[in-house]
């Protein structure tokens, strides 16, 4: 298999550099394919593996910059904990997470105003190969897309052709693995590969939890 590119994004001051280094360490432990790790950042002096963010985008929109790079690739948000094998995440097709921990009957799906609705996917973990067309489409009119969509999740859901990772590989530490069948909160599901610490609590708030003590190294 060709070398895998693994990306994260750290722009602004929300996350300290140790989030990047701990994510890099987790990828090294759980991805046996040959790979290179990169951080897209506005502080390239902090990392020997940095790619300077130079597209003039704000906040989470910097995530779009990962798609201008070619090759088989994986992406992880900084607020995830990886605790099992990642090899099966690699894909030729563009994949995101299907957030089955959300109750679809309570979600606000508004077809004519996707900016105030939600999306059926989550971009905290992504896999793809040569999806420069996503970057090109967004950068053709970034102001339009940033006004139309309240976040990159919604843009990627509505404006791309995508698949989702297998159910049973990624879960929400806060909300559970499935809204109906496996919704125990703050449960360490060792058979899964990735836990999302989206919104609250932050990983730093859970330092005494086994999932953090065992894996955020």
Measured CA to CA, the distance from residue 217 to residue 212 in angstroms comes to: 8
Q: Which two tokens stand for residue 135?
A: 């970057």
Q: Across residues 152-179, what is the average pLDDT?
A: 95
Q: Is the pLDDT of residue 85 over 50?
A: yes
Report the CATH number at residue 50. 3.90.550.10
Query: Could you list the residue range(s) of the whole structural domain that residue 65 is in?
Result: 4-215
Measured CA to CA, the distance from residue 19 to residue 204 in angstroms comes to: 10
- Write down the number of H helices and E strands in the chain: 5, 10
Q: Contact, 36 vs 49, CB < 8 A?
A: yes
pLDDT at 165: 97
**Higher per-residue pLDDT: 149 or 40:** 40
Q: Which two tokens stand for residue 39?
A: 């951080």
Q: Across residues 23-43, what is the average pLDDT?
A: 97
Sequence-ordered list of residues with C-beta below 8 angstroms from that of 166, at least 6 positions apart, any chain: 88
Q: Across residues 178-187, what is the average pLDDT?
A: 95
Q: Is the pLDDT of residue 110 over 50?
A: no
Q: Which SS3 state, helix, strand or coil, does residue 172 take?
A: strand
pLDDT at 111: 46
Q: Which residue has the tokens 């009957």?
A: 105
Percent of the chain at pLDDT > 70 equals 94
Q: Across residues 125-146, what is the average pLDDT?
A: 96
Q: Across residues 80-89, what is the average pLDDT?
A: 98
Lowest mean per-residue pLDDT among 113-117, 168-172, 176-180: 113-117
129-145 per-residue burial string, b: 16 or more CB within 10 A, e: under 16: bebeebbeebbeebeeb
DSSP H helices, the chain, are 17-30, 132-140, 142-148, 152-159, 210-215
pLDDT at 113: 54
Tally of domains within the chain: 1
Residue among 137, 124, 16 at smallest CA distance from 60: 124
Residue 13 pLDDT grade (very low, low, confident, very high; cuts 50, 70, 90): very high
Q: Report how far apart, in Å, the C-alpha atoms of 115 and of each of 65, 112, 128, 145 are.
A: 21, 9, 25, 10
């Amino acid at each position: 298999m060709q070398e895998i590119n693994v990306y994260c994004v750290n722009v602004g001051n929300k996350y300290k550099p140790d989030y990047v280094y701990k994510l890099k360490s987790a990828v090294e432990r759980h991805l046996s394919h040959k790979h290179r790790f990169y951080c897209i950042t506005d502080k390239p002096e902090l990392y020997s593996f940095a790619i300077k963010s130079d597209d003039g985008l704000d906040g989470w929109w910097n995530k779009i910059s990962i798609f201008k790079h070619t090759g088989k690739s994986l992406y992880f948000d900084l607020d995830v904990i990886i605790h099992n094998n990642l090899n099966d995440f690699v894909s030729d097709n563009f994949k995101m997470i299907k957030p089955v921990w959300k109750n679809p009957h309570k979600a606000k799906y508004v077809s004519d105003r996707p900016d105030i609705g939600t999306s059926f996917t989550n971009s905290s973990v992504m896999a793809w190969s040569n999806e420069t067309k996503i970057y090109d489409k967004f950068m053709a009119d970034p102001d339009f897309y940033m006004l139309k969509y309240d976040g990159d999740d919604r843009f990627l859901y509505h404006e791309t052709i995508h698949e989702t990772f297998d159910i049973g590989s990624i879960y929400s530490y806060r909300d559970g693995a499935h809204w109906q069948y496996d919704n125990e909160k703050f449960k360490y599901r060792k058979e899964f590969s990735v836990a999302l610490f989206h919104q609250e609590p932050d990983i730093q708030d859970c330092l005494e939890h086994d999932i953090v003590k065992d894996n955020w190294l």
